[in-house]
Structure 1
Amino acid sequence: MRSAGPLLSVRPEPVDAPRSTPIDSRHRLRGEGHCRMRSVRTGSIAVAVLVALTLLQSPAAAYAEQPVEFGASPVVDTAGALTPDEEREVEAAIDEAADRSGRQLFVAYVGEFEDPADAGSWATETANDNNMGSEDYLLAVAIDGRAYHLSAAEDASLSAADVDRIAVEVVEPHLRDGDWAAAAIAGAEAIGGGGAPGGGLGWLWIALLVVAAAAVVIAIVIARRRGRAGAPPAEGPPPVPIDELRRRAGGALIGADDAVKTSEEELGFAVASFGDDATADFRAALAAATAKVREAFGLQQRLDDHEPDTEAQQREWYAGILRLTEEAEGLLDAQADRFDALRALEQNAPQALAEVEASIRAAESGIAPAAARLQALSSQYAPTALASVADNPEQARARIAFARDSASEAAAALGRGETGAAAVDIRAAEEAADQARLLAAAVERLAADLDDGDRAVAAGIADLDADVRTARGMSDAALGGLADRVEAEADALRADLGRAGRSPHELAARLDAVNREIDAAIAGARDAAVQAQRARAELDRALLSARSRVQAAEDYLVARRGAVGAEARTRLAEAGRLVVEAQSLTATDAARALAAAQRADQLAGQAMSLAQRDVGGFGGAYGGAAAGGLGVPQGRGASGGDLVGAVLGGILIDSMLGGGRRGGGFGGGGIPGGFGGGRRAPGSFGGSATRSRRGSGGRF
């Protein structure tokens, strides 16, 4: 379902990954070598995406591995990374760290990650398949793929910041040097280097803690005395670089924004089936999470503005973004289990499949009228005025193709009795059909906005005519020349308004410029009532333009969120906030309302430009999508264009493209803005980590 306003987002997660694990899986995993049933499907969407995208990329793939099983040893090495002696050293380091801290590290060395193809999802699936518990940590390394991920349970005693630090500062340097054994040994030592004690240390551990606490107190006292004496304080660990904080914050914003968008869509499906009363708690959680994400975007906007910020301010605001996004996703995750129980797609899969097939047919029926409407609009308006919907019919067809294929996969899975796999495909079909409906509806919505824009410009031209008459009736001779110039511009605007190829927004900008000039010249000649009326008319035009551009940018982003980065989302979030602010001030402070509306209009235009840049980069990096000049032929069985469109729409994500994610951060890579990680198929109500583990990693 679509949002009524901007910035309500989504991040799907696999529905069949286990949410709970045994409290102590370490001893069973190390003591037993029995086989385990795999809990996720290895075909269907994932394989199709990988095959399709392989055709889009020319380099030959290295040897790839699906998630592995651990037996008696905490080390699996299918890539031949370790010698026998090195493997024994790694196992000894892992055992020693586990005995010391109660935290167990498992290490997997493979050639390439496959099914799923990104490091985070591969590590999560491996951990879930092996029933890893709260204090089980997994270091997954793709030797040939030059990617890795350090995975931890959501309730692990090590914080997300600790895991990220160990991954980036302890493990990754050894991986870059190709010292695979040292990476695992250093990781095990860092993981076991502190925190909650494992069983059996008893009073010795308490004594060590007391000694350590005393040492800390003494160090603080000495440092303070040195500070008073002018001596430099003892150096601590280096602070996280600002660029690293910026990368983490950007990734966290994308993840949380997508989580809100997916949760909103899922909530829309649930409301349609169960009504408002049954979904009230989920609406409240979504509203609270959305407020936190908007607040986080507000901090990012402060960082992005033109005012210089001190390093302390930057660190404070980036920390605020990370805290707010984590809190937002936590609010959604807290409701995820109850939401899944409400929808119960696995139990109601046949009925849900019938409903989604009807939804696909309804969404498809709207594409042809939208295409015809777009064709008609193209004969009236400039390409720039239609840029946000220019490829919508083609994108909608790609989503329908994907939805139909997903529905067929769901039917086949039901025929095999695989209700979990069917539920995943049903969710994919639901979201694809919903995006197709949004893409078609956006054309008609833009048409209405453009028509409103035409009428607003016409009304503004009439105001200019009245201003010209007022100026000519005044005794000030200098106003005569201004009246002539304004009259000529009004005539030009009137002529352009009747021509094909116009842009109402550009005409409105010209109108506002000349209107401000003549308003300033004859303001003293008007009475207060007339001035207020004209100010309100100008405010109405500004609000109409801002709302239209914000809505157009929101429609564009929602259906292409798989490629849109944090910068565009930040501008759109701020534009949406300013529109709400302007609307709230219209009755009490028209001047502030006008300024807010004009700034919102400007930011919405920037958001659209940035989003289009990101989508263009997405097409360039992966052979294009089904629209917008990205040019991949349609047909899942042939080129996989509809699959790339599903990735573009955020239905399938960058895990299929081999994207890396480091501690929630996004950066580098070939795709501007990056993609959200952590999931491999459409998911349910919840944050980006729902039914997944947290962790850190990337390329080395």
Structure 2
Amino acid sequence: MTSSPIRGRPRRATAHIRVRLTHAVLGVLAGAGWLVLPVMTAEARDPVPAAPFGPTASAAAPRQDGTSATDLALPLAAGAAALALAGYGCVRRTRRTRSRTTPGSGPAPRPATGPADAERQARAALRLADDCVRTSREELSFVRDRFGELRTEPFGRALRTAETELAAAFALWRRYEDGVPGEAGALLRAPAGVTGRCAEAGRRLDAQAAALDRLRGFAADGPETDGDRGGDGAGDEDGSVSAEGGVGAALEVAERRFRDLTARAGTARSTLAALRRSYPPSATAYVTGYAEQATDRLVFATARLNAARRAADTGDSREAVRQLRAGEGAVAQAGMLVGGVEGLAARLAEAAGLLPAALAGAEAERAAAERDPGRHASPGAERTLAAVRAELDGGAYDPLDVLRRITRASGRDAGTGAGVLDTAALLVARASVAAAEEFVAVHRGAVGAPARARLAQAVRELDAGHAGRADTAAGEARELAGRDVRAHGTAYADGDPAGTAGAVLAGILLAESADDGVPPAYGGPRTRSRHHP
């Protein structure tokens, strides 16, 4: 049942109007009384006895009849003020009456936040929450390397909850973009729901940020002990850590991963060169520049980890933590870039091995469809398969793209079956989602909410087994993210030897200045920038 708009009006507003009206009337009556009082007393007999006749009496000033202008000035001013206040109150009441939303009382007021503002706030909230989740996931990976899964479970649980809230927010936003639900009121409330979901995701991460710093030995209020932890076993093996000792142990984890990535980056460069010799440029297009970007991230990480070591040696734990977090962010992204090249090589090899069986399966399905008029045959399937056979016989080809065309010609959207075509469809979808995920992650300083929403949709479709739709959504996400990066501009200028612009584009730093750059940390919007200079 819909409540009456009148019932939604605050009752205190009516009481305030009555009070102000009463004050105005009393003011007018008081002013009028003050004006009338001198006139009423003007003809009254003087109660003071008359002085005797004589020289003194003759020298006295003659008696004046009536009142002087001076006597009337103050009452007139008071009355004018009361009338002015009453008029002002009347005007305000008239304006409020015209702007009421009750039926027949005039046009509705402009909302404080219109639909365009609500959409803008929702997009900003999605982008911020996505950044918080990604940064928290990266830092938590370093914490797990040091403390293990069991001791970091509270932080992992908070991260999973935040990921769930963010996924729900992205799903709601996509429904809103598609005009679902159709009911106007629910559609207008959708951006507020998106913003609320994002706020809850950030709140979950904010609630664990201080505990994570204590576990790592970063807390300004001293080390964490078993008593502080409630006996859950989190912290160092000896039960306490100092700020400098915490940074030192964290540096060892980051430097160990850094050394491993340095070796893998060289191998990835050789792998990429081999892929370019074996496949056409389209097969490796999306990882073009990954090796160079990984090298840039490692160079940036070298400078930041060295600075963290120097700050820790001098006892400047706050600066050590700031530099360490910047170095960890660079190492994490270098790992993603190197992993992207390695993953592409593995998927191309798997696709090439799957191609003959997938092609045979697609041709068998087409033949069966021709024999059975009741079976659905994809239009143009015969032409597509003929073109694929010609391409395979012609030399270099992109195995993933060929598989994509085969599965689409066979009408394979769902990849939940055990057949070769379902396996091929899932492989193509996973490759597309991985490519979009890597690109968004290492360019998140420039990528906006639309690309992130398409990527989230691709993940949902992939989890549901809708391989074809996941592949399409991931391709849209990659294209939108590429537009955002091109609009942002290049980050690799000759005048940026420290790699700061690239770090800002990657989301490793939250400011353009190398000295004042804030590295984001595990946490939501309230705590992610706590490691400021």
Say whether the fold is shared (TM-score over 0.5): yes
Q: Secondary structure at the match of 2:464?
A: helix
Give per-residue Cα distances to partners, 1:225-282, cap 9 Å, x unaligned: x988x51357445342322222211111111001011111111111111112211111
Instruction: State how far apart, in whole Å, the 2-side matches of 1:567 and 1:274 are.
Output: 36
Deviation at 1:295?
A: 0.6
Match of 1:649, as an amino acid?
A: A
Instruction: State how far apart, in whole Å, the 1-side matches of 2:395 and 2:446 are.
Output: 33
Aligned to 2:221: none
Aligned to 1:390: 288
Aligned to 2:389: 494
Q: Cα 1:656–1:246, aligned 2, differ >3 Å: closer, same or farther?
A: farther
Alignment of 1:169-318 (within 5 A): 212=13, 214-215=15-16, 230-232=103-105, 235-305=108-178, 312-318=185-191
Instruction: State how far apart, in whole Å, the 1-side matches of 2:363 and 2:274 are.
Output: 31
Match of 1:640, as an amino acid?
A: P
Q: Cα 1:689–1:495, aligned 2, differ >3 Å: closer, same or farther?
A: same
Aligned to 2:240: none
Q: Secondary structure at the match of 2:278?
A: coil
**Structure 1 residue 554 and structure 2 residue 437: aligned?**
yes
Q: Cα 1:373–1:655, aligned 2, differ >3 Å: closer, same or farther?
A: same
Match of 2:480, as an amino acid?
A: L
TM-score, normalised by the number of residues in structure 2: 0.69
Match of 1:246, as an amino acid?
A: E
Select which of 598, 608, 614 maps to 2:468.
Answer: 598
Alignment of 1:565-604 (within 5 A): 565-582=448-465, 596-604=466-474
Deviation at 1:339?
A: 0.8
- Contact in 2 for aligned 1:380/1:500 (Cα 8 Å): no
Q: Cα 1:686–1:471, aligned 2, differ >3 Å: closer, same or farther?
A: closer
Aligned to 1:335: 208
Which deviates more from structure 2 when the two are superposed, residues 360-369 or residues 286-295? 360-369
Q: Cα 1:609–1:469, aligned 2, differ >3 Å: closer, same or farther?
A: closer
Select which of 512, 534, 547 maps to 2:407.
Answer: 512
Instruction: State how far apart, in whole Å, the 1-side matches of 2:384 and 2:201 are.
Output: 50
Q: Cα 1:389–1:236, aligned 2, differ >3 Å: closer, same or farther?
A: same
Deviation at 1:488?
A: 6.7
Instruction: State how far apart, in whole Å, the 2-side matches of 1:655 and 1:489 are.
Output: 50
Aligned to 1:616: 486
Q: Cα 1:455–1:410, aligned 2, differ >3 Å: closer, same or farther?
A: same
Which deviates more from structure 2 when the two are superposed, residues 552-561 or residues 238-247? 238-247
Deviation at 1:216?
A: 8.9
Percent identical across equivalent pairs? 34
Q: Secondary structure at the match of 2:407?
A: helix
Aligned to 1:408: 306
Deviation at 1:471?
A: 7.0
Q: Cα 1:435–1:231, aligned 2, differ >3 Å: closer, same or farther?
A: same
Select which of 408, 433, 449 maps to 2:331.
Answer: 433
Aligned to 2:249: 351
Alignment of 1:409-558 (within 5 A): 409-467=307-365, 470=368, 474=371, 489-497=384-392, 501-516=396-411, 536-558=419-441
Unaligned 5+ residue runs, structure 2? Answer: 1-9, 20-92, 219-242
Q: Cα 1:467–1:407, aligned 2, differ >3 Å: closer, same or farther?
A: closer
Higher relative contact order (CA 8 A, sep 6+): 1
- Contact in 2 for aligned 1:258/1:688 (Cα 8 Å): no
Instruction: State how far apart, in whole Å, the 1-side matches of 2:402 and 2:528 are.
Output: 50
- Contact in 1 for aligned 2:140/2:156 (Cα 8 Å): yes
Aligned to 1:364: 262
Instruction: State how far apart, in whole Å, the 2-side matches of 1:455 and 1:269 are.
Output: 36
- Contact in 2 for aligned 1:340/1:684 (Cα 8 Å): no
Q: Cα 1:288–1:468, aligned 2, differ >3 Å: closer, same or farther?
A: closer
Q: Cα 1:291–1:213, aligned 2, differ >3 Å: closer, same or farther?
A: farther
Q: Secondary structure at the match of 2:118?
A: helix
Instruction: State how far apart, in whole Å, the 2-side matches of 1:513 and 1:338 are.
Output: 49
Give per-residue Cα distances to partners, 1:66-104, cap 9 Å, x unaligned: xxxxxxxxxxxxxxxxxxxxxxxxxxxxxxxxxxxxxxx
Instruction: State how far apart, in whole Å, the 1-side matches of 2:451 and 2:18 are.
Output: 47
Unaligned 5+ residue runs, structure 1? Answer: 1-208, 520-531, 583-595, 627-631, 658-678, 694-700
Instruction: State how far apart, in whole Å, the 2-side matches of 1:389 and 1:227 are.
Output: 57
- Contact in 2 for aligned 1:454/1:497 (Cα 8 Å): no
Deviation at 1:436?
A: 0.9
Deviation at 1:607?
A: 0.5
The structure that has the greater radius of gyration is 2
Could you say what the CA RMSD is over the residues aligned between the two structures, in angstroms?
A: 3.6
TM-score, normalised by the number of residues in structure 1: 0.54
Deviation at 1:217?
A: 12
Aligned residues: 414
Deviation at 1:509?
A: 3.8
Structure with the largest fraction of helix: 2
